[in-house]
Structure 1
Amino acid sequence: MTEVFMSRQPLVNRQRRIIATRLTLHLESGGMPDAVNALSALASVWPQGEKPVFVSCGRTPCDASLLDWSAPENATIELPAAALLDQNGPDLIAALQTWQPTVCLHFDPQATQALSAGVACRFIGFDAQHFALAQLKLLAARTRTYGMGIAFNVENTADFRACVDAGMTAAAGWFFTAPSSTPAKALNPGQANIVRVLNLVRHNADIREIEAALKQDVAISYKLLRYINSAGFGLSCEIQSFRHAVSMLGYDKLNRWLSLLLATASKDPMAPALLYTALLRARLMELLANGLVEPSEYDNLFITGAFSLLETLLGIGMEQALETMRLPEPICDALLGNGGRYKPFLDLALASEGDDGQNIATQAGMLGLTASQFNRAQLQALSFADAMEF
């Protein structure tokens, strides 16, 4: 059986929030049976929230056998218009009409004919690299009665703004992860105070000293308790104070959640999407390392993922950001590109956001991970990020 690795893209709405995720199956030499097997194997870890999960078969032609997959309610199947009109089109149309999954039809020169084939579409997808912005605006208006417009392959924030202004409901891509301005010379006061608290916790300072630092910014205490009490953390009782959190969790576990607070102090307009991505990377790295490193290092891998977007979130260079924090050497080495034992996990987490299935397979193979293990970790990390409150 062909191993099928998956990559993912976020769908970002006008409010700069991630409202859905797009999974792309890299079938390489495989076909629809391999796609069905790969998707079916994820049933127990499929995200249960309301956010849609788009499923794309990439460059592999789709046919009716894809509908052998029992798609969850929040799954959206992406279909090229051509798939409804080729020689296998009648069987595919019949299967879609029978099972009625949620569909995103990719708009192409044959889309007008495909839209009249009797298949209900909730979304219409447009490749932002193939249409001028004026065309997108016109097409969004003309297809609005068929489904909500989604722009795929959006490469920068300027194009993102243009796409949503043209009428797109959301845009898919990693355009928001690149730094958008000249790096600042120093942390802002809110960020600096969070770093101070983080350093105190990492070095097991007296609780009274940490509480005094927290009192300088009441918002930090509020956000920290909100994270800890979120559904993603899974505690059986509500944490009422920092002192209570220390007694329940210990300093090591608190350190990972304080690391996320740096993201909340970001002034970047894409901060909600960046925070979500940082959290997903953090949890993914921790899951990928399960059984491959000592359990005592899981928190460090989580922090490595969470800090992988510091340059964009804080608006300063990575070296400058790390200078203010006394982090373990393996974390710094990975974030600065200097190798080390955490770097392969970060490389695989980053590869999962690309469109090169062979690169993902290579990176996973270096860690001895199968496609099934990797895909399951991605969906578990996705569910974790969805469960957090932002």
Structure 2
Amino acid sequence: MSSTSATGIATGAPTPADQTSATMIARQAIVNAQHLVIGYELFNRSRPEPTHTAATDVALVFTALSHAGTDELVGKKLIFVNCTHESLVGGHLELVDPEKVVLEIPPLSHAASEEVAARLPTLAALRARGFHLAFNHTVLQSAYNPWLLLADYIKFDLSLLAPDQLAVLINYAQRHTQADLIAEKVETAQQYDMVSSQGVQMFQGYWFARPALVRAKLVSPGQSSILELINLVRKQASTEQIEEVLKKDAGLAFNLMRLINSSGFGLAREITSFRQAVMLMGLKKLFRWAALLLTTSRHSGTPPSVGQTAVVRGRLMELLALEKKLPQDETDQAFVVGIFSLLDTMLGMSMETALGLVSVPPGTEVALLHNAGVLGHLLVLAKACESGDDVAFDNAATSLQMSSQQINNAHLQALAWADHFAD
């Protein structure tokens, strides 16, 4: 399998070496009864830790589709990716075509009926949007009955299940669901014969294919270009103006064109111009993409933890705004305030100077400069959550009329969600 080119596809000019980095993504085929590949499960093999052997979040899909070159990685097949429940919320899922993605949903640590019921609306909404949902065999337990009708796929791990137990579960799944059944960890001909004789029609494991590595090249755009793009999007600038920014930064152009032309974006034909890309993506998605690109830039000259903290703040403030039932535009601005709250550190200048580079609404500017207004109070609260300052936390919580439980739950969700954008 060939490596993905790291050249700037928009201009044809080579990308400077110090603007590129590599991510190792593995894929393992999932085949049908005719041994034809119907999809690939993706794994992140960039990290050295032995415990990190699989993709644990849908951010891997975003990385793969934006940067890896989808034809080399998965072609037109389905993408199976492991998720956490925290990774199922957030704007990054808007950046892929749901019809191409199978979200593998893990069981809960405690399958209490109220927890199962609490997750149901999120899962149902994802499936209604077109995502396929896969579960492991635990979804057949009575506690998970509310989820069972949402299952497009049920996976059976042959390394965990005894043959008699497996037969019972397969029979139950065939009688009570419409899901396609997948046997995984199939390593011998005997295992294959056993599950296929019981009616299983899809298979994954070393008997068919071992995970294959793909070295994905990531091209880092300049921060000034990302800021200029954000600035124009916030002003609702013309397509022509946005197009000019893309023309000036090969890294920015490369990432956008990779994403828009990936199979995960679901377009029937290749997009060859920036104008088409901008119009198809839309300003809202373009802003979310650029904001996350800014905070995860590897070559910003600041520690990666700074961008990670900004993402946590943005998501935490967004969640708190939702808790307070603020209007949608204020909820969107809460995310902006949080993610821009470390612009001064990321850019090495004062916040006033940094805001001179970015177009933001007056309420956002007041919040960032003076901690004023409801957005400013949310920012103070987000900072208090980081610092462990109990007095500041209590004062901010009181002013916002929010309980410690509401805030702590939102903070845990934000930390988990933001972790999916860390390398």
TM bucket (normalised to shorter chain) is 0.3 to 0.5
TM-score normalised per structure 1: 0.45
Q: Structure 2 length as normaliser, TM-score? A: 0.42
